[in-house]
A and B are shown apart, each in its own frame.
Chain A
Amino acid sequence: MSGAAGRVAGRRQWPLPRDADPDAPLLEVEHLTTHFRLPNATVHAVDDVSFRLNDGEALGIAGESGCGKTTTALSLVRILPSNARIVSGTVKLFGIDLVQKSPAALRRYRWREIAIVFQGAMNALNPVRRIRDQIAEPLEERLQVPRRDARKRADELLELVGIPRGRGSAYPHELSGGMRQRSMIAMALACDPAVIVGDEPTTALDVMVQAQILELFERLRHELGLSLILITHDLSVIAETCDRVLVMYAGKVAEEGAVSTVFRNPRHPYTGKLLGAFPNIRADRRTLDVIPGSPPDLREPPKACPFAPRCPMARDLCREVMPPEVTLPDGVRVACHLWPAGSDGVTPAWTTPSKPQLEIGADAGVAAGADAGAPARDVA
């Protein structure tokens, strides 16, 4: 969608970055790869992830714990732990590649262009400072707004997120969990950023408060034309709030597409399992469809489909070859051998696994044998 830059510039006082391309999409991430270096290993936390966020859109990133959701989001403005490194890929905001920016230059974009609603508001707020002062902080420190004006603006922001003005002088412990999360949202809104990233913004809240917070996000999107990336393991949150969903598994994109399409007709078996693992309040009491096994060790990411060992549909192909990302006719992007390139998106390539899963071990043995054979041949 062109004109993202112009629309963002139109709704806020602060100027856009100078080299913004008016015709570029809002946010375009391509082949993003982020590694964590450990003393004797490298964790491939995010591996070749691409996605796009259009202006005014809400994108949900879903997946199990440890599948790279948060790392993906934090890589956008590089707020990563010191042992993390973006190995390759681009993050283009208004067409400006943030990965190429020096740490000093990148500071211009943090919070001003991409702000974050952190997980666990209680910890992200200083317990001995009034929330008004904390919300004013990005304005004071980032935009050099005089303290008085910044506090006045903080009060307006509080009102915007549904906290009465007078509560600005409260300390975090005097607020309810929902109010704390609201003030974190107010803080994220302070600089009128182009993108807001919600990192599990509703995780620690009870269902009623969760609904209120989601409603707030929804309202802000409509009132302010906010663009949102919502990271959560709770698919119902995405179903309720987002336009598109990106399902991640083992640091890779498993499936991406419009929420309605993906949730109604999950193509990737992982998406299907994830939806199945979700309790349905109206259904009879039953055991949840738990996905057996656990995600692969990302210190040594598998060369083949990372989900194959847990996949009920896996065939030999899945255990040997990495599935490419394929875009189906209805716009869903999926990385699974069930949906080869040129597929109609309706009929999967097969409907039952070729062999029972017991034989995975046998396959591994064959693979290992082949590996072991190679050097032996060299010696000969």
Chain B
Amino acid sequence: MSLNYIIAMMLFTLGIYCLLFKRNLMKMVIGLQVMTNGLHLFLISLGYREGGIAPILAGEMLERGAAAELAAAAVDPVPQALVLTSIVINVCTMALALSLAVYTYRHYGTLNPFRIRRLKG
């Protein structure tokens, strides 16, 4: 059992616990971030190769012109590119979520999600 997958799934479970058991909007947002970090770690670990190098053609391999050696020794680049996109989308979502939390606090005076139920006209 490899350590990468276990830690990723434990981070995900910790995020779920934080979403269910905390009564503060800011702490729930932090729980969402922990869940997302666990998922990103899991996705990148899926494309690992034993003794692989980074998928960048640089240094000595570039001077030799051995582009075919990269295909035999590099790790999978596709999950890394998709996780890059996912990180930026995550930043935008969290920015909007935190702005909504600040706006809710200004309107209701509390950050407890069980008390934000009345409709104020």
Do A and B pair up? The answer is no
Binding site for A on B (CB under 8 A): none
